[in-house]
Amino acid sequence: MKLGATLAADGVSFGVYSETAEKIWVCFFDDADRETDRIALGRDGHVWSAQIAGLSAGARYGLRADGRYDPKQGYYFDPNKLLVDPYARRIDRQFVLHPELCLARPEAVDTALYVPKAIVPGRPDPVARPKDDARRPALIYELNVRAHTMRHPAVSPPLRGTLKALTTPEVIDHIVSLGVDVVELMPVAAWIDDRHLPALGLTNGWGYNPITYFAPDPRLAPNGPDDVRDMIAVYRRAGIRVVVDVVYNHTGESDILGPVISMKGLDARTYYRHVEVNGEMRLVNDAGTGNTLQCDHPVVQALVIDSLRHWVTEFGVAGFRFDLATVLGRTAEGYRHDAEMLSLIRNDDVLKSCLLIAEPWDPGPGGYHVGGFGDPFFEWNDRYRDDVRQFWRGDHYMLGALATRLAGSADKLDHDGRKPSASVNFLAAHDGFTLADLVAFADKHNEANGENNRDGHGANYSWNCGIEGATRDPAVLEARNRDVRALLATLFVSHGSPMITAGDEIGRSQGGNNNAYAQDNNLTHLDWDAADLDLSAFVSDLAALRRGHPAFRSDKFLSGKMGEKFKDVMWLTPDGAELGPGDWGIPDASVLGMFLHEAGEILLVWFNRLFEECVVTLPSEHGLTFDIVLASSGGARLDERSSQAVLPARSVVILGCVSG
């Protein structure tokens, strides 16, 4: 029996899973939101179902369930609560968090007025898609639909904040100009606000609080699935794959006090992980949001696989980024890379041809597993982010860490046949400081979130170039611009798969807020009128540089292996000598040369974090001579007579071998 609502020859069949319910009904509503019919489902094992003749696509419905009510034991049954079908393909409006959704059963009122209704789907044709979507990304572009389009001058005002806005030619042209081949959309599936936000007058603009895994959020897709399909098709034609961020670690039903709106009211003990504490069955909070999906239960596994396949076959997405992906591999014994949930994803006939990206950690016990997911997963690499930040901030003993990240993060990934491309290298993401704020704020400033600046990461490895926050001081502004360019240049010459977050290429700031999930306003909405076009052009140049030089895109870990004439990589001191054991341990070493002999070419990249120019000696054996290909700051120059180069302060200089 298929779960959800499915068109049949003479009507619609409904299937719902619950091990602990005593009664389940499907309820139908007219266009005025009045309940017009309530039909009891029959039970066969743990599946409740009914075949309803005469019903057609477009019918609006919800579920109700009755049974034991004892939240401290994991039972939330209350027939007054209208529940959204976990398999709903479309809903008629966005979720809004009303207090009535959280009321205990003895206090309960009928919540049908406050709950979106599911819509019986039609039979759309499957979307044709290439079979090579799993190929290595050239440049990933993480994008929030609302933030990206709400203030874009080329987007028609009625479309702003929607997926359709992303199809505006000027929006696509900008993304294409950056060399992006993968757009990673932050969550598109329908979500609800966190429980504490309405009282603060805030809303969740990120979407990491889902209720339905199949249905797109009506804020982003007011025309439902068609909006998703159309947007993805437009990007396909532009040569861009679309990946969606999915949240299978928790739902917006939160903890014992949270809303009862879907799975919690159908069978909380099946869908959510519980642990016995002093005789109570408490919701596990490995995701840090009040509940955790029980991904080692077959019905949850089916929900995950079915919804992933739905986004691929019905919408045409190229892949997924799994938020807090460690939860998918959690078992009673803790995280396992070969857990059944992860194995099902890896081996699924549809999903194995998709681009799969894991955020390889969660805040639960033993939740950090960078490098621990195995093929075919790509993995966000926060060690790359932090080590590169610390080098440019000026922290001591960072040469070795920088070299490890530039060479592909072998310490995390060089096992089981994995390659550097599995490392998604990034400097900033939705979570944390923007790139501009990274060099403008030494501390986070999250007061607008209403939690007295307690929320958000404390270890940001950031700096402010002399003044905290906004300033008109031209020297400070120039220093910040210089540092951003050096950081970006570092990213694009590193082995791995680079990712930038939309807006960082135009200098976006969030005023030092490093946890802006609840700021669906001008703090996060990109100000395109103030875009730094020079910085955007620089990112385009870096992407073109990477495309044009196979040595930067080589998918082999750099290890110093000797070739016919040269090692695949040599790490150089400012005097042009190869670093020895003692050189790596110099606390304040601030200049590093990376001599690459890969993919049939020779490149030399210098990193200078000093606050003054540095003269370096170029390797000249075998008659090598070099020319400047790109520099992150002006003033780089060569003295061919002395085989030396002058590196500007706080810069990355890339040299190409022209003879030898």
* 261 in Cβ contact with 78 (< 8 Å): no
Whether 600 shows a pLDDT value over 90: the answer reads no
Amino acid letter at 125?
D
For range 39-51, the mean pLDDT: 98
- pLDDT above 80 for 622: no
Closest CA to 535 of 495, 575, 481, 587: 481
Q: What is the pLDDT of residue 623?
A: 81
Report yes or no: 321 and 245 within 8 Å, Cβ to Cβ: yes
The reply to whether 323 belongs to the active site is yes
**Structure-token pair, residue 216:** 């797109």
* Bridge partner residues of 16 (DSSP): 48
The percentage of residues in the chain with a pLDDT greater than 90, rounded to a whole number, is 94
The answer to whether the pTM exceeds 0.85 is: yes
Task: Indicate the average pLDDT of the chain.
Answer: 97
DSSP letter for 657, please. Answer: E
pLDDT (tens digit, 9 = 90+) per residue, 217-249? 999 999 999 999 999 999 999 999 999 999 999
Task: Tell me the C-alpha distance between 105 and 40, whole Å.
Answer: 21
Catalytic-role residue among 184, 227, 245, 359: 359
Q: What percent of the chain has pLDDT over 70?
A: 100
Helix (H/G/I), strand (E/B), else coil: 352: helix
Query: Which of 286, 323, 379, 598 is an active site residue?
Result: 323
Q: Which two tokens stand for residue 23?
A: 């009664």
Instruction: Say which amino acid occupies 133.
Output: D
Write down the pLDDT at residue 325: 98
Residue 659: is its pLDDT beyond 80?
Answer: no
Query: Cα separations (Å) of 356 from 218, 388, 418?
Result: 25, 25, 14
Fold of 559-659: Immunoglobulin-like (2.60.40)
Q: Is residue 131 scored above 90 in pLDDT?
A: no
The residue whose two tokens read 């007025």 is 113
Which residues on neighbouring strands pair with residue 344, listed in sequence order? none
Cβ(329)–Cβ(341) under 8 Å? yes
d(CA 589, CA 571): 13
How much is the average pLDDT of 478-483?
A: 99
What distance in Å separates the CA atoms of residue 569 and residue 563, rounded to the nearest whole number?
10
Where helices occur in 311-366 by DSSP H, the ranges are 340-347
Per-residue pLDDT at 419: 98
Task: List, in order, residues 6 or more apart from 251 with CB less than 8 Å away.
Answer: 209, 210, 211, 262, 263, 264, 291, 293
Residue 642 predicted with pLDDT over 80: no
Contact 313/351 with Cβ under 8 angstroms? no
Tell me what pLDDT residue 126 has: 81
pLDDT value at residue 660: 63
3-state helix, strand, coil in the chain (%, to 5): 30, 25, 50
Q: Give the Cα separation of 320 and 376 in Å (integer).
A: 12
Task: Report which of 437, 457, 428, 450 is spatially closest to residue 515, judged by C-alpha positions.
Answer: 457
Residues 286-296, mean pLDDT to the nearest whole number = 96
Q: Does residue 138 surpass a pLDDT of 90?
A: yes
Q: What does the pLDDT average to over 195-214?
A: 97
Alpha-carbon distance of 161 to 422, in angstroms, equals 32
51-75 in b/e form (b: 16+ CB < 10 A) is: ebeebeeebbbbbbbbbeeebebbb
Residues in the chain: 660
**Mean pLDDT along residues 278-300:** 97
Distance (Å, rounded) from C-alpha 479 to C-alpha 439? Answer: 9
* Alpha-carbon separation of residue 132 from 135, 241, 265, 352 (angstroms): 6, 10, 40, 10
Check residues 156 and 660 and name the one with the higher pLDDT: 156
CB 326 within 8 A of CB 341: no
Closest CA to 255 of 17, 76, 21, 80: 76
pLDDT for residue 318: 98
Model pLDDT for residues 310-347, shown as the tens digit of each residue: 999 999 999 999 999 999 999 988 899 999 999 999 99
What pLDDT is stored for residue 130 in this prediction? 82
* pLDDT exceeds cutoff 90 at 287: yes
Distance CA 563, CA 474 (A): 48
The residues facing 63 across adjacent strands are 26, 83
359-376 in b/e form (b: 16+ CB < 10 A) is bbbbebeebebbbbbbeb
Sorted by sequence, the CB contacts under 8 Å of residue 138 that are 6+ apart come out as 179, 180, 181, 182, 543, 546, 547, 553
Task: Provide the pLDDT confidence category of residue 9 given band limits of 50, 70 and 90.
Answer: confident
pLDDT at 85: 99
Q: Could you read off the pLDDT of 380-389 as tens digits, one per residue?
A: 999 999 999 9
- Say if residue 461's pLDDT is above 80: yes
Tell how many helices (H) and how many strands (E) occur in the chain: 15, 30
Structure tokens at 517: 């999930």
Which helix (H) or strand (E) segment holds residue 300: the answer is helix 298-310
pLDDT score for 297: 97
Residue boundaries of the structural domains of the chain: 559-659
